[in-house]
A and B are shown apart, each in its own frame.
Chain A
Amino acid sequence: MEEQVKVICITCPKGCTLNVTRNGDAILKVEGSGCKRGAEYVEAETHDPRRMVATTVRVQGSMHPLLPVYTAKPFPKPRIKELLSEIRGIQLKAPIKMGDVVLKDALGTGVDVIASRDMLVKA
């Protein structure tokens, strides 16, 4: 059944409100986008919605108790909770370098979780 929904594109800070005509999962028409990435976003959001995920991991031996980490690529939205749970169980040890892989191929999605910064050993 054909329906019209409004979707906010999050690809860039502009946040265009898109008028999407769809029939179930099939995207028929996308109007109101400021660039071609709008239509791409709607496709992705309908069939394989993904988000960049950033959180922290416990680390020992450094001046801070937490290391900020993030997914190197957008991660499947429905599995974010699971990912956070998996990350919660990780305990790291300093030193860490920015870009170090903290969780390789998280949950088999092909997305690595990497360190956002260096963490030196506490002097």
Chain B
Amino acid sequence: MKNEYDVIVIGAGVVGCMVARWLARYQINILVIEKEADIGMGASSANSAIVHAGYDPVPGTLKAEMNVTANPMWDTLAGELNFGFDRRGDYVVAVNNGELLDLEKLLQQAQKNGVPGMHIITSAEMKHREPKINPDTTGALWAPTGGICDPFQVTIAAAENAIENGATFLLETAFQDFILDGKKIIGIKTNHGDFKSRWVVNAAGIHSDEVMHKAGVRPEFKIQARRGEYLILDRAELTINNVLFPVPSEKGKGILVTATLHGNTIVGPNANVLPDKEDRSVSRDGMDELQQGAARLVPSLNLRSTIALFSGMRAYGNAPSENPGVKYNSDFIIEIPKSVKGLVNLGGIESPGLTAAPAIAQRVVDLMKDAGEKFVDRKVWCPIRPARPHFREMNQEEQIKLVKKDPRYGRIICRCENVTEGEIIAEMHAPIPARTYDAIKRRTWLGTGRCLGGFDMPRVVDILAKEMKVSPLEITKKGGSSQFLTGITKIQEGN
């Protein structure tokens, strides 16, 4: 295994993968390291999946600039990387007259940020567009450039395209420290040895403060983990086709009720700071908050049709905006610090981080160019990442052809979402191979239906074991010590 690269990216979330994809256009050797057993296991796979229009960030902040720059990039990106994306627009819904004034303010902010096409619609029009909306609605702000995506697909598509163009990814590889030569970064230390490089990109999400502190950068910068809890509702019980926001508060954008590309409805997130950055639990109080938040927008929502609960951690940082005259204290950090050479420092990338990812990636390249890096185009750069076939999305003719070619595509493993054995095996042999149950779940959407894996779990464990040629006892839910099974029936300690 090589241990010398031009650029090392710390963190394979959507931002790290997008940076790698942008850099892979050039003739440089890229390594992306990720401490978990799979890419995108942090905020990248636990968010509202929204591509924001850009009216929410405070004008003049880096958040606003990156959001508004990135938003129009998504159509081309979705076409090149073949992930799910739908620019269906979003609504900020007012439920009393006071909130109507807030909508006006938000519209002005949108115009300052340069967001096109927004206007306020009447309550009658809002009810027409979303019949299930709170009947007390007084009107809504309509943002036609908002959209929804499949955030894990975005992450993996960017990663696979980077790999296609020469990048290397190492999983279960955790950053420990920088290797410095005076004030110059010449490499990093990890739990799997040392790696040399001229550049290191800090894309470590929730842990980006800890990483930059190891280089003595911004000692006053602190990330607080802000947990957002979510519920997913059974699409057989309820279908909301729109993206609905409440009027925002100081805490953030608030609890949304929104459609997902898979046809479900998501409620969330709330926002609570937690001391433990790795605490991904879901709380009873949290679910009560979600119930109340949902009722503001869609009073008829019945949480009894919940089919999944999850939470994600946001990297809520305390960096003030670099723009003098802008009063905002948790802006993005996207910089090449002067105090040390060779670091591209990304910090506090919370919402609109997913939306901004392609613009952040472009900015990283621009900053490196400004710092003197001579980028030479790769002779053959392939921007296209082809999608893998999904049985459930094909018509009957396509299905027959596919099953004839490979009968494993004829065997349904997840009956709620119609995911086949062929798709599971394809993900196990993809550029970033899926090796755990959750990795398969993120890639195929298996196990997310109303039976929550009850049917597919033993079958997936069996397939993973046979394909990896290991005992089913070794198969894990999410790496580490999360094995499903503890022993073989009939062979155990005496009782």
Chain A interfacial positions (CB closer than 8 Å to B): 56-58, 66, 81, 85, 88
Contact = CB atoms under 8 A, between A and B. Distances in A.
Contact of B489 (A66, A81, A85): A66
B490 A56 contact: yes
B494 interface: yes
A88 B494 CA distance: 10
A85 B494 contact: yes
A88 B495 contact: no
Nearest to B488: A65
Contacts of B490: 56-58, 66, 88
8 closest A-B pairs (Cβ-Cβ)?
A: A58-B490, A88-B490, A66-B489, A56-B489, A81-B495, A56-B490, A66-B490, A85-B494
Contacts of B489: 56, 66
A117 B491 CA distance: 22
Interface of B: 489-490, 494-495
B411 to A, nearest CB: 15
A56 B492 CA distance: 14
Nearest to B495: A81
Given A56-B489, A85-B494, 7 more contacts: A56-B490, A57-B490, A58-B490, A66-B489, A66-B490, A81-B495, A88-B490
Nearest to A66: B489
Query: Interface centre among B489, B490, B494, B495, by most A CB within 10 Å?
Result: B490
9 contacts: A56-B489, A56-B490, A57-B490, A58-B490, A66-B489, A66-B490, A81-B495, A85-B494, A88-B490
B286 to A, nearest CB: 40
A70 to B, nearest CB: 16
A57 B491 CA distance: 11
A56 B489 CA distance: 9
Nearest to B491: A88
Contacts of A81: 495
Contacts of A56: 489-490
A57 B490 CA distance: 8
A97 B495 CA distance: 30
B254 to A, nearest CB: 52
A79 B411 CA distance: 45
A36 B495 CA distance: 37
A16 to B, nearest CB: 32
Nearest to A87: B490
A116 to B, nearest CB: 15
A66 B489 CA distance: 9
A77 to B, nearest CB: 16
B488 to A, nearest CB: 8
A113 to B, nearest CB: 14
B485 to A, nearest CB: 13
Contacts of B495: 81
A88 B489 CA distance: 10
A102 B490 CA distance: 16
A117 B494 CA distance: 27
A57 B489 CA distance: 9
A58 B495 CA distance: 19
Contacts of B494: 85
A102 to B, nearest CB: 13
A88 B491 CA distance: 8
Contacts of A88: 490
A8 B438 CA distance: 45
Contacts of A85: 494
A41 to B, nearest CB: 27
A46 to B, nearest CB: 26
A66 B494 CA distance: 19
B472 to A, nearest CB: 11
Nearest to A84: B495
A66 B488 CA distance: 11
A47 to B, nearest CB: 26
A81 B490 CA distance: 13
A103 B178 CA distance: 66
Nearest to A85: B494
A30 to B, nearest CB: 34
A4 B438 CA distance: 56
Nearest to A88: B490
A66 B495 CA distance: 20
A81 to B, nearest CB: 7
B492 to A, nearest CB: 9
Nearest to B494: A85
Nearest to A55: B490
Nearest to B492: A88
B379 to A, nearest CB: 53
A53 to B, nearest CB: 14
Nearest to A89: B490
A72 B317 CA distance: 68
A85 B490 CA distance: 9
A58 B489 CA distance: 9
A58 to B, nearest CB: 5
A122 B312 CA distance: 46
A56 B495 CA distance: 17
A44 B360 CA distance: 78
Nearest to A81: B495
B370 to A, nearest CB: 64
Contacts of A58: 490
A26 to B, nearest CB: 34
A58 B60 CA distance: 70
